[in-house]
Amino acid sequence: MNELEAVSRITELTVQLNKYNYHYYVLSESLISDQQFDLLLKELERLEHEFPHLAAIDSPTKKVGGEVTKEFKSVKHKYPMLSLGNTYSEEDLIEFDNRIKKSIGEHFQYVAELKFDGLAISLTYVKGKLERAVTRGDGVQGDDVTANVKTIKSIPHQLSPGNYPDEFEIRGEIFMHKRTFEKLNDKLRKELELKGLDEEEIAEKLYKNPRNFASGTLKQQDSKEVAKRPLDAFLYFLYSDIPVADNHHDSLKIASSWGFQVSDHYRLCPKIDDVIQFIKEYELERKNLGYEIDGVVIKVNNYLQQEELGFTAKTPRWAISFKYKTERAVTLLQKVTYQVGRTGAITPVANLTPVLLAGTTVKRASLYNADEIERLDLHEHDVVFVEKGGEIIPKIVGVDLLQRKADAARVTYITHCPECDTLLQRKEGDALHYCPNENGCKPQLKGKIEHFIGRKAMNIDSLGAETVSGLFDKGLIANYSDLYELNKEVLLNLEFEVGDDDEKKKRSLKEKSVQNILDGIEASKKVPFERVLFAMGIRLVGETVARKLAQHFQNMEALQHADLATINNIHEIGEKIAGNVYHFFRDERNRAIVDKLKRHGLQMSIVEEEGVVRSSKLGGKSFLVSGVFTISRDEMKKIIELNGGRLVSAVSGKLDYLVAGDKMGPEKLKKANDLGVRIISESELKEMLN
Ligand code: IVH
């Protein structure tokens, strides 16, 4: 390989690897397998070894394991960030109290406060301005996450003038409110579903609890992303070389008066019994808080007494945490049922005698998969322990063996689909069982129709899941193509059920809703081809893949008749997806559905937008678009592609044209100049097209 070729390949690999890293670490999605990633990385390493002067300082080969967090600056803490000793019982606390009395006598007080379940943060303020926010790290040094922390609304960037020291440090906990967590995780689930991921993959990618989500968020490199996932913070400890108070309780009040968010839930406790009282109160009250706590922190109030007590190697002797036991309920397993998802994935569910746990009634618990049932060695009518843990869906953590009847039978996993009786399959290395009967299994069929009408697909939002279910159950639709044969009369006469298994109600549609549904169905005929393709629900064909297929084949006819190799040869379309697409069209039932969609006038080919001309004027030349133009960058890119240009995302010696707009980065411009790349303006590009 000569040097010119090396430049081009290195650029190409760098762009690709950076993209994969970004998707993996920031968007939590893998575009390629680890093995494929390593192959590309090795190739880049080899080239950089051969042409060392071409190796960029920020090359993906230089990031340890590609971990984005490694890119945060590491900062040494002025005062080490210690952890606390844990206690779990009243006896432990009384022992702690006795140790303290032995050391400093009887005259002291405690402050009891909540132990927030988040991530510790240390904020440094200089002359009232937030200078630095550093994570705990290993306690000695942590990551500088200032840009991310600045997105947290309750953390002041600049304090109003006040009586604070020129420099001080304040520590606290960053966390995510429970409601924010639920909302964002739901959103993430929907996005993953639309991308075609199956249940197991989704479960892996969803955040397990608010703490986990907060920590994933704080580690993001792009603070714009962080701002989209609102975090919050409580501050609970002040460090300053010049003392501002002689005790912790006053410090909390003072910190609050400077503009910091200090929790209202703390209390001065003269005796350990008062601490125990506080702990008991909050054991009940915690479910009413909008955020998670996992215990109570107890600190000796007076600073001189804290100093006298000192530290052990890892923890202060003047403070301790009391951890609440994870709430646990005991109940009876009534039966195990099995749910079938859109993709055919089977999820076993434990149906329980209703029991109150952490403020809600629990009737069901997820059993995840066959391995979990085996791990628990679950038997029929077992007395089980249920916990909520950090997760929202309760889970069974154990079985009370003493209460198991001698003749109780072991719960055996089903072999056939509970809905259609097809023999289930379990692929090697897969934890889940699947029902392979995708064209004959009710919940899978209904799920496909629901996916079809979804917002990012055909966007028939006037039609809900319950109406779809009703239409399906009454035999009025068997697949999504039948939606186009519905009429007013059928819809007005439809009776369907709403609500869950425990409380079902009968409903019918009003004239206005019927009209909305019919209008929505009609409007969907204008939805572009690429979205029709996505809506069809071919496994693993998410939005991006659908767009690629549409662009490559231009119309349904060509895609339908494409051979496997042709589909597989499209850039970034792997074997698995290509196989799914190919086999989808070999199935005559699918072909009949597509034919019906065609007959009803859905978009079956890419439609050129008005005013955009297709030509080969740019004849395979490469273009990079940078800066601000009179049209959006996306439009500009589209015009280039439609006229035969190729888009690249980095400046290299091989780049033919850099289209430079306003406010483009000076470094890029310089690099292009140095490499002798032709730099053109928006109007020069337009001239090339005329
Ligand atoms: S005081 C030396 N107060 O718990 C005193 N910590 O296991 C250090 N935490 O790393 C901490 N709420 O992340 C303190 N009200 C609170 C707290 C709290 C949560 C966390 C903190 C710390 C860990 C100790």
The answer, yes or no, to whether residue 66 has pLDDT greater than 60, is no
Residue 139 pLDDT > 90: no
Given ligand 1 and candidates 113, 115, 138, 298, which is best to mutate, with the most ligand atoms within 8 Å of its CB?
115
Kindly indicate the confidence band of residue 310, based on its pLDDT and cuts at 50, 70 and 90. Answer: very high
Going by alpha carbons, the residue nearest to atom 12 of ligand 1 is 115
Q: 582 and 564 in contact (C-beta within 8 Å)?
A: yes
* 576 is an active site residue: no
Atom number of ligand 1 nearest to Cα 119? 13
Indicate which CATH number applies to the domain containing 456: 1.10.150.20
Q: What is the structure's pLDDT at 215?
A: 87
Do residues 522 and 533 both lie within one domain? no
Domain assignment present for 71:
no
Domain that holds residue 139: 86-319
pLDDT at 65 over 70: no
From the alpha carbon of 237, which atom of ligand 1 is closest?
1
Give the separation between CA 677 and CA 595, rounded to whole angstroms.
Answer: 49
Ligand 1 atom nearest to CA at 120:
13
Q: Which of 579, 537, 528 is nearest to 555 (CA)?
A: 528
What is the CATH number for 219? 3.30.470.30
335 and 386 inside one domain: yes
* Candidates 42, 70, 115, 127; catalytic one: 115
Instruction: Please tell me which residue, 292 or 225, carries the higher pLDDT value.
Output: 292
Question: 196 lies in a domain?
Answer: yes
One domain for residues 96 and 109: yes
Inform me whether the pLDDT recorded for 42 exceeds 80.
yes
Confidence of residue 390 (pLDDT cuts 50, 70, 90): low
Q: 458 C-alpha to center of ligand 1: Å?
A: 50
- Ligand 1 centroid, distance to 84 Cα (angstroms): 7
What pLDDT sits at residue 70? 45
Instruction: Name which residue sits closest to atom 13 of ligand 1, judged by CA.
Output: 120
| Tokens of residue 208, six digits | 């397990």
Determine the Cα–Cα distance for residues 648 and 16; give it in Å rounded to an integer.
11
Helix (H, G, I), strand (E, B) or coil at 627: coil
**Mean pLDDT value across residues 448-469:** 90
Is residue 686 within 8 A of residue 666, CB to CB? The reply is no
Same domain, 254 and 368: no
Q: Does residue 567 belong to any structural domain of this protein?
A: yes
Number of independent structural domains in the chain: 6
Q: Are residues 214 and 101 in the same domain?
A: yes
Q: Among 269-278, 299-308, 462-471, 526-535, whose mean pLDDT is lowest?
A: 462-471
Residue 211 · residue 292 · CB < 8 Å: yes
82, 84, 215, 256, best to mutate for ligand 1 pocket (most atoms within 8 Å of CB): 84
pLDDT of residue 542: 84
In a domain, 616, yes or no: no
- Span 400-444, pLDDT tens digits: 999 999 999 999 999 999 999 999 999 877 788 999 998 889 999
Å from CA of 81 to ligand 1 middle: 9
Q: Which of 526, 545, 568 is the last residue of a domain?
A: 526
Which distant-in-sequence residues (6+ apart) come within 8 Å of 126 by Cβ? 166, 167
**Could you tell me if 48 and 197 lie in one domain?**
no
Q: Which residue has the higher pLDDT, 657 or 343?
A: 657
Strands (DSSP E) found in 593-654? 622-626, 646-647
Cα–Cα distances in Å, from 256 out to 160, 250, 534, 655, 664? 12, 10, 52, 56, 44
The confidence score (pLDDT) of residue 448 equals 92
Residue at 129 is within a domain: yes
Q: What is the mean pLDDT of residues 549-560?
A: 93
Mean pLDDT of 42-49: 90
Pair (110, 188) in one structural domain: yes
The pLDDT value recorded for residue 68 is 35
Final residue of a structural domain among 435, 452, 487: 435
Supply φ then ψ for residue 355, to 5 degrees.
-145, 145
**Whether residue 280 is found in the same domain as residue 340:** no
Mean pLDDT of the chain: 88
Ligand 1 atom with minimal separation from the 117 CA: 19
User: Domain boundary residue among 302, 319, 336?
Assistant: 319
pTM of full prediction above 0.75 = no
pLDDT at 35: 64
Is the predicted pLDDT of residue 445 greater than 80, yes or no? yes
Q: Is residue 615 part of a domain?
A: no
Measure the CA–CA gap between 17 and 24, rounded to whole angstroms.
Answer: 10
The mean pLDDT of 664-681, rounded to a whole number, is: 87
Nearest CA, atom 16, ligand 1:
115
Whether 297 shows a pLDDT value over 70: the answer reads: yes
Probe residue for ligand 1, chosen from 77, 81, 83 as the CB with the greatest number of ligand atoms within 8 Å: 83
**Which whole number is the average pLDDT over 62-81?**
67
Claim to verify: residue 174 and residue 92 sit in the same structural domain: yes
Beta-bridge partner residues of 680: 659
pLDDT category of residue 504 using cuts at 50, 70 and 90? confident
* Same domain? 228 vs 254: yes
Classify each residue of 591-623 as buried b or exposed e, where b means 16 or more C-beta atoms within 10 Å of its C-beta.
eebbebbeeeebbbbbeeeeeeeeeeebeeebb
Calculate how far, in angstroms, residue 157's C-alpha sits from the geometric centre of ligand 1.
23
Q: How far is the CA of 113 from the centre of ligand 1 (A)?
A: 10
Structure-model confidence comparison of residues 70 and 673, the more confident one: 673
> Cα of 392 to ligand 1 centre, how many Å?
24
Residues whose beta carbon lies within 6 Å of some atom of ligand 1: 82-84, 113-116, 120, 173, 236-237, 297, 316, 319, 321
pLDDT of residue 679: 92
User: CA dist 418 to 16, 163, 348, Å?
Assistant: 44, 69, 11
What percentage of the chain exceeds 90 in pLDDT?
54
Residue 64 inside a domain? The answer is no
Q: Does residue 69 sit within a domain?
A: no
- Cα–Cα dist 242/371, whole Å: 59
If one counts every other C-beta atom within 10 angstroms of the C-beta of residue 263, the result is 18
Place of tokens 């209904």: 446
Q: Select from 116, 171, 323 the residue to mutate for testing ligand 1; criterion: most ligand atoms less than 8 Å from CB.
A: 116
Question: Which ligand 1 atom sits closest to the C-alpha of 113?
Answer: 15
Whether 22 shows a pLDDT value over 70: the answer reads no
Interval 352-376 mean pLDDT:
87
CATH number at residue 631: 3.40.50.10190
Q: Is the pLDDT at 26 greater than 50, yes or no?
A: no
Identify the pLDDT of residue 608.
Answer: 67
Q: Are residues 90 and 129 in the same domain?
A: yes
Taking residues 563-567, report their average pLDDT: 94
What's the gap in Å between 104 CA and the centre of ligand 1? 23
Q: How confident is the model at residue 561 (pLDDT cuts 50, 70, 90)?
A: very high
Same domain, 161 and 24: no
